[in-house]
Structure 1
Amino acid sequence: MDAAAMMAFLAESFPQVAGDFAVDAVTADGVRVRLVTADRHLRPGGTVSGPAMFALADVAAYLAILSRIGPVPLAVTTNCSIDFMRKPASGVDLICDCRVLKLGRQLAVVDAMIRSEGLDAPVARAGLTYAIPPVREPVAP
């Protein structure tokens, strides 16, 4: 799937998050996804919340896998470990560079590095594992 197809898929299958994220690029290793930050993503103190960063990592991982296997809505997160390393810059979007490390028949392992737009130092890093549903042949009537 390319960036336009992923955005169309999100709009159709997950409209609840489609407006918060944008696919900036599909790369040889994965994807680059942007969290378009808004007031609803902030926690007290004006910084982007941990749950918003987790959502960015999770959506980016999902899209990185879909960029390889196509639109499979039932691929699901089975594990995530996230490290919050520093406070994100205020007033800018967050960018997640997500790499597919292993893509098997049943599981995919992904690395997600989150940065504040325009800065090099990462604000968070996540490792995620996704379960890929088996392809089922239609049952004859």
Structure 2
Amino acid sequence: MGLTMDADALNAFLAREFQQIAGEFIVDTADDEVLVARLKVNQSHLRPGGTVSGPSMFALADLAIYTAILSRIGPVALAVTTNASIDFMRKPEAGCDLLAQCRILKLGRVLAVGEALIFSDGQDQPVARCSMTYSIPQNRPNSGG
């Protein structure tokens, strides 16, 4: 299945439907294989010890996989996370944005499964790995506008 939304369309959707995260998360790129989303790390994402918090990394993974699914099915705001697993592997660098490289592993009629590797910008080794399952609404009543 090809893309129905590119990075620009996904960012416009996020700005419209999720104003509470405006400016924090950006979809850098989206193609048929990989979506890359960015968390613009600031002081509010840090925890004691000078590292990015786990909840901030989880939010990035959730947004990356969500937008990767939407890139294929269109602007369905009511697609929701039904399962999540995250492995924290390394301490992210506090002064760097985080990037999530996401792949969709399965896209069915009612369920989608994706995986995201999270990196500190400019680093080769991932700091976290996350897999998530999403429920896709049957009727898709909210197409985002």
The TM-score with structure 1 as length reference comes to 0.94
1:93 aligns with one of 97, 104, 109: 97
Computing the radius of gyration from Cα coordinates, the structure with the larger value is 1
- Aligned partner of 2:57: which letter? M
Aligned to 1:121: 125
Aligned to 1:22: 26
CA–CA distance in 1 between the matches of 2:89 and 2:128?
5
Aligned to 2:7: 3
CA–CA distance in 1 between the matches of 2:40 and 2:140?
36
Aligned to 1:65: 69
Query: For structure 1, which runs of at least 5 residues remain unmatched after alignment?
Result: none
- Give the conservation status (yes or no) of the 8 Å contact 2:80–2:135: yes
- Aligned partner of 2:120: which letter? S
Instruction: Note if 1:104 corresponds to 2:108.
Output: yes
Aligned to 1:50: 54
CA–CA distance in 2 between the matches of 1:122 and 1:8?
28
- Aligned partner of 1:29: which letter? E
Instruction: Note if 1:34 corresponds to 2:55.
Output: no
Choose 20-29 or 78-87, whichever is displaced more. 20-29
The TM-score with structure 2 as length reference comes to 0.91
3-state SS, counterpart of residue 44 of structure 2: helix
Aligned to 1:132: 136
- Give the conservation status (yes or no) of the 8 Å contact 2:104–2:113: yes
3-state SS, counterpart of residue 28 of structure 1: coil
Identity rate, percent: 63
Measured after TM superposition, the shift of residue 120 of structure 1 is 0.7
CA–CA distance in 1 between the matches of 2:34 and 2:68?
5
- Aligned partner of 1:54: which letter? F
**Root-mean-square deviation (Å):** 1.1
CA–CA distance in 2 between the matches of 1:136 and 1:50?
31
Measured after TM superposition, the shift of residue 127 of structure 1 is 0.4
Measured after TM superposition, the shift of residue 136 of structure 1 is 5.9
Aligned to 2:83: 79
Measured after TM superposition, the shift of residue 45 of structure 1 is 1.2
3-state SS, counterpart of residue 67 of structure 1: helix
